[in-house]
């Protein structure tokens, strides 16, 4: 089976990105997939499929991203779906993390996606169609756990600019979806993927507990199936009216309900004070 859509997927050598690329190729889509290391990507995907275009890309370099986008359009003639999936986890107390550690996380998780969006949008606008899937996290909706401050801030940023982007590109027939997964059984929590601060502060036992939970208890025990997540992502690109927010996983669903209930309660509790700030006529 051959599908006409062309996908551009970042962070494709492992995790959700790899699961998505494999499923897309199996379903006959044309796929341009990026990774920092071309050898890792080609080994992971392991295919001779002519509809697969592996690309070595430094997402923090506008020039590298532009080359990749142009190569994709030259090879396949267009881009229909962009999946900004590349990113990495960072767990550490806000006081513990250095300016460099925090900025590095933003460079990949936020500015890497923005580079792709800026370089691809001229093509999407010209064709008056397209769908941008920005892979955020449930940590972009709720950050109420010790140690997630900077990582969650990067994902809150993704959620924020994606909402605005959705409004900006709607006149051109371009759709935007924020994909917000819970815990899926990938290597995202493994030592090589999950960064921690070099300089840890002993007082923050709650942060150490969070790190230990993720690395020792949750890693390889996640309930989410990455192949089913890939199926869900593909399915919404075939919808006439796809969601702006796509939460994936039972855990994500529960955390959304909890956050909404918390906000509703605070809104009601402090309503009088909230409404007391208007200029009196």
CA–CA gap between residue 114 and residue 168 (Å, rounded):
14
Structure tokens at 167: 């409004």
For residues 255 and 182, the answer to whether their CB atoms sit within 8 Å is yes
Find the catalytic residue in 13, 35, 64, 136. Answer: 136
Specify whether 190 is catalytic: no
Residue of 108, 94, 138, 148 whose CA lies nearest to 229:
138
* Strand residue runs (E) in the chain: 6-9, 30-35, 52-56, 81-84, 89-90, 130-135, 174-181, 194-195, 245-248
CA–CA gap between residue 240 and residue 152 (Å, rounded):
30
Find the catalytic residue in 23, 30, 155, 175. Answer: 155
Tell how far CA 60 is from the center of its chain: 15
Specify whether 136 is catalytic: yes
Find the catalytic residue in 29, 123, 151, 183. Answer: 151
Q: Which residue has the tokens 């150490």?
A: 208
Dihedral sign computed on CA atoms, order 63, 66, 72, 75:
negative
**Cβ neighbours of residue 233 closer than 8 Å, sequence gap 6 or more:** 20, 83, 133, 179, 246
Specify whether 155 is catalytic: yes
With residues binned 3-state (H G I as helix, E B as strand, rest as coil), the percentages for the chain, rounded to 5, are 50, 15, 35
For residues 24 and 48, the answer to whether their CB atoms sit within 8 Å is no
Active site residues: 136, 151, 155
């Amino acid at each position: 089976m051959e599908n006409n859509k062309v996908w551009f997927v970042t962070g494709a050598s492992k995790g959700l990105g790899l699961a998505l690329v494999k499923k897309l190729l199996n379903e006959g889509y044309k796929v341009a997939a990026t990774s920092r290391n071309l050898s890792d990507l080609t080994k992971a995907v392991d295919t001779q499929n002519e509809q697969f275009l592996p690309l070595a890309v430094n997402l923090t370099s506008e020039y590298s991203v532009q080359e990749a986008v142009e190569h994709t359009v030259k090879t396949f003639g267009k881009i229909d779906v962009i999946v900004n999936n590349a990113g990495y986890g960072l767990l550490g107390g806000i006081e513990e993390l250095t300016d460099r550690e925090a900025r590095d996380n933003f460079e990949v998780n936020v500015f890497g996606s923005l580079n792709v969006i800026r370089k691809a949008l001229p093509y999407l606008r010209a064709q008056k169609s397209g769908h941008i899937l920005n892979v955020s996290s449930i940590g972009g909706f709720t950050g109420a756990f010790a140690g997630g401050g900077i990582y969650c801030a990067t994902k809150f940023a993704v959620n924020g600019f994606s909402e605005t982007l959705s409004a900006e590109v709607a006149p051109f027939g371009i759709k935007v979806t924020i994909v917000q997964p819970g815990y899926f059984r990938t290597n995202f929590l493994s030592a090589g993927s999950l960064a921690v601060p070099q300089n840890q502060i002993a007082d923050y036992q709650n942060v150490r507990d969070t790190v230990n939970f993720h690395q020792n208890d949750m890693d390889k025990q996640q309930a989410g199936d990455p192949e089913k997540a890939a199926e869900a992502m593909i399915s919404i690109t075939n919808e006439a009216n796809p969601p702006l927010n796509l939460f994936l996983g039972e855990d994500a669903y529960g955390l959304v309900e909890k956050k909404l209930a918390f906000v509703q309660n605070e809104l009601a509790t402090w309503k009088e004070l909230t409404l007391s700030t208007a200029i009196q006529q």
